Structure 1
Amino acid sequence: MNPEDLHLLVTRTMPFGKYKGRLIADLPGNYLNWFAREGFPNSEIGRLLALMQEIDHNGLSDLLKPLREPPK
């Protein structure tokens, strides 16, 4: 894992599907688990979804809080 990937989780939005426009870090666990069962896309987004699923599955989502940008 590249440390920059953690920053991407809190800045990159989902480009397609039911949750299009939502931050990767804010995707619901059941959606991430669906990808884990069905297969992640073979792309950067797929890599980020897999990382977020692993973080969510292990209850580590709070580790991303310090990386989030404060509201403007």
Structure 2
Amino acid sequence: MKIMNKNNVIVPKKTFAKFLDAMAVFSEVQEQIEDHLILTNKKIVGDLRRARLEHQKGKVGKWSALKTKYGI
């Protein structure tokens, strides 16, 4: 019998594989929910469209100013 310490949990490989699969599915669902929330928010969609139009027209900010503004 294996001795467990208080920092480790021993699980069968199949159980761990199922856990990893569930995590992957959860991650995908989370991304889909985020996409849905963004695309159903009229303000965000409007801001994205406006930003895209400005970019297409060549209206872009100076990189140095953006770096300073956002602390990059």
Tell me the TM-score normalized by structure 2.
0.33
Higher percent of residues as helix: 2
Kindly indicate whether structure 1 or structure 2 has the higher relative contact order, using CA contacts under 8 Å at least 6 residues apart: 1
